Amino acid sequence: MRKNLLKSYESDASRLKGKALDVFCPRNVDEVRDVVLKNDRVVIRGAGTGLAGGAVPQGEVVLDLSRLTGVSNFDEGRKTIEVEAGVVLDDLQDYLRGSDLEFPVKPSSHAVATIGGMIATDAVGSRGVKYGRTSTWVKWVEVMDSMGGLEKKGVTEMSDYAGMEGITGVIVRACLKLSGIKERSASVIRLGDLDEVVNLVRRLKQRRDVSMIEFLDRAVSKGVGFGDGYHLIVEYESDDGSLKGEDYEKVMGIRDGIYPFLAGKGYIRIEDPKIMIDRFPKLMSWLESKGVPTFGHIGVGILHPCFNVEQEKSIPEMMKLVKRLGGQVSGEHGIGILKRGFVEVNDQKILWNVKKRTDPMGKFNVGKVI
The reply to whether 243 and 175 lie within a common domain is: no
The reply to whether 209 and 156 lie within a common domain is: no
Per-residue pLDDT tens over the stretch 120-137: 999 998 999 999 999 999
Is 275 contained in some domain?
yes
Q: Which of 67, 92, 90 minimizes the C-alpha distance to 82?
A: 92
The reply to whether 76 and 216 lie within a common domain is: no
Is 340 contained in some domain?
no
The reply to whether 48 and 93 lie within a common domain is: yes
Per-residue pLDDT tens over the stretch 265-284: 999 999 999 999 999 999 99
Q: Which of 214, 286, 277 minimizes the C-alpha distance to 251?
A: 214
Is 2 contained in some domain?
yes
Backbone phi, then psi, for 184, in 5-degree steps?
-120, 150
Is 267 contained in some domain?
yes
End position of a domain, from candidates 290, 306, 324: 324
* Structural domains in the chain (count): 2
Sheet of strand 80-84, all strands in order from the earlier edge strand to the far edge: 71-75, 80-84, 170-177, 138-144, 150-153
Is 244 contained in some domain?
yes
Is 351 contained in some domain?
no
Per-residue pLDDT tens over the stretch 241-269: 999 999 999 999 999 999 999 999 999 99
Give the per-residue pLDDT at 49: 86
Q: What is the CATH number of the domain that holds 35?
A: 3.30.465.10
pLDDT band at 14 (very low <50, low <70, confident <90, very high): confident
Mean pLDDT across 295-319: 97
The reply to whether 235 and 300 lie within a common domain is: yes
Q: Is the dihedral of CA 109, 110, 111, 115 positive or negative?
A: positive
Q: What is the three-class DSSP state of 357? A: helix
CA 357 to chain centre: 25
Per-residue pLDDT tens over the stretch 143-157: 999 999 999 999 999
The reply to whether 43 and 162 lie within a common domain is: yes
End position of a domain, from candidates 308, 324, 340: 324
The reply to whether 157 and 261 lie within a common domain is: no
Taking CA atoms, 105 is separated from 53, 116, 207, 212, 253, in Å, by: 22, 13, 19, 11, 16
Give the per-residue pLDDT at 69: 98
125 pairs with which residues across the strands?
Answer: 106
Is 300 contained in some domain?
yes
Give the per-residue pLDDT at 165: 96
End position of a domain, from candidates 157, 181, 205: 181
Is 62 contained in some domain?
yes
Q: What is the three-class DSSP state of 365? A: coil
The answer to whether 20 and 6 have CB atoms below 8 angstroms apart is yes
* pLDDT surpasses 90 at 175: yes
Per-residue pLDDT tens over the stretch 52-71: 999 999 999 999 999 999 99
Mean pLDDT across 183-197: 97
pLDDT band at 3 (very low <50, low <70, confident <90, very high): low
Mean pLDDT across 231-243: 97
The reply to whether 164 and 202 lie within a common domain is: no
Buried (b) or exposed (e) across 128-159, using 16+ Cβ within 10 A?
Answer: bbbbbbbbbbbbbbbbbbbebeeeebeeeebe
The reply to whether 177 and 200 lie within a common domain is: no
Give the per-residue pLDDT at 2: 62
**Strand pairing category for 179-180 and 170-177:** unpaired
What is the average pLDDT value for the chain, to the nearest integer? 95
Q: Which of 320, 283, 278 minimizes the C-alpha distance to 304?
A: 283
The reply to whether 5 and 153 lie within a common domain is: yes
The reply to whether 102 and 213 lie within a common domain is: no
Q: What's the per-residue H, E or C state across 200-240? A: HHHHHHCCCCEEEEEEECHHHHHHCCCCCCEEEEEEECCCC
Mean pLDDT across 330-353: 93
**Strand pairing category for 42-45 and 58-64:** parallel
The reply to whether 234 and 122 lie within a common domain is: no
Give the per-residue pLDDT at 8: 86
What pTM, to 2 d.p., does this model score? Answer: 0.93
Cβ atoms within 10 Å of 78's Cβ, excluding its own:
11
Q: Which of 200, 197, 172 minimizes the C-alpha distance to 68?
A: 172
Q: CA angle 87-55-271, nearest 5°?
A: 100
Q: Which domain holds residue 205?
A: 185-324
